[in-house]
């Protein structure tokens, strides 16, 4: 009995402390399905009338195909500037056979003007107009543009990391990394290396292992391109 009395007091205190629950529907009367259920049918009927009486603008009347005209019940000589949903056939003339739109996908249209003989003649005209471009000599490399890393790659045969040139002194990883960091790419490093006396000499410390390739530059892509050719 005492427990029931305490439970009743607790529930009363909780009810006194709780606030009113706000309406969870802020759109009352704001659309179909909200508000008084008795007004639903009137709201839906008003919305249907709004949709049925509006006109749909057509940006370019030339973009309407013949099949669409047949569905709308419009003749090919009637241009349409808008479609009235109450009367789709109402409108003015339409340019149905627009020469700017290809009809090559329409079998009936193509069959009415093309034959096997005309296709053969058109194919022959295309063959007669076909020209084969003749190869031309490559332009000569202008002087004063620096070393040619492509020509150098094709003149070598050793793999990356295989030493073929003598290098004096001990290898310093930090010095090598700082020297290569001055260049934006390994191609630029290789060109600078060759321009400074490489591959025989390595003044900039770009090829400490003596393979002739600076900063991990790899001649393999150039060699592969020559072999594919």
Each residue's pLDDT tens digit, 57-93: 544 444 556 666 666 665 555 444 445 555 555 544 5
Q: What is the pLDDT of residue 66?
A: 64
Q: What is the pLDDT of residue 146?
A: 81
Contact 65, 33 (CB under 8 A): no
Q: Which two tokens stand for residue 152?
A: 């150098």
Q: What is the pLDDT of residue 43?
A: 81
- Return d(Cα 20, Cα 78) in angstroms, integer: 64
Phi and psi of 56, rounded to 5°? -100, 115
Question: How far are the Cα atoms of 13, 14, 52 from residue 19, in angstroms, in the given order?
Answer: 12, 10, 47
- Return d(Cα 41, Cα 46) in angstroms, integer: 9
Q: What is the pLDDT of residue 88?
A: 53
Q: Which two tokens stand for residue 202?
A: 């390595």
Q: Which residues of the chain have pLDDT under 70?
A: 1-35, 52-99, 144, 229
228 phi-psi bin (left φ>0, alpha ψ -120 to 50, beta other)? alpha
């Amino acid at each position: 009995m005492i427990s029931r009395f305490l439970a009743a007091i607790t529930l009363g205190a909780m009810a006194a402390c709780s606030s009113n629950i706000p309406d969870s529907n802020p759109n009352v009367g704001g659309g179909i399905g909200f508000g008084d259920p008795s007004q639903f049918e009137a709201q839906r009927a008003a919305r249907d009338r709004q949709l049925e009486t509006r006109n749909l603008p057509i940006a370019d009347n030339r973009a309407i195909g013949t099949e669409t005209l047949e569905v709308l019940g419009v003749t090919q000589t009637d241009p349409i500037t808008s479609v009235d949903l109450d009367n789709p056939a109402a409108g003015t003339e339409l340019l149905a056979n627009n020469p700017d739109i290809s009809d090559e996908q329409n079998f009936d249209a193509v069959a009415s003007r093309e034959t096997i003989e005309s296709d053969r003649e058109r194919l022959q005209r295309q063959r007669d107009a076909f020209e084969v471009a003749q190869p031309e000599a490559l332009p000569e490399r202008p002087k004063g543009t620096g070393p040619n890393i492509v020509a150098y790659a094709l003149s070598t045969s050793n793999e990356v990391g295989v030493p073929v040139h003598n290098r004096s002194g001990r290898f310093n990883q930090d010095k090598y990394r700082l020297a290569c960091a001055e260049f934006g790419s390994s191609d630029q490093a290789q060109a600078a290396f060759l321009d400074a006396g490489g591959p025989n000499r390595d003044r900039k410390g770009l090829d400490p292992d003596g393979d002739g390739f600076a900063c991990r530059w790899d001649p393999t892509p150039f060699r592969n391109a020559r072999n594919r050719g």
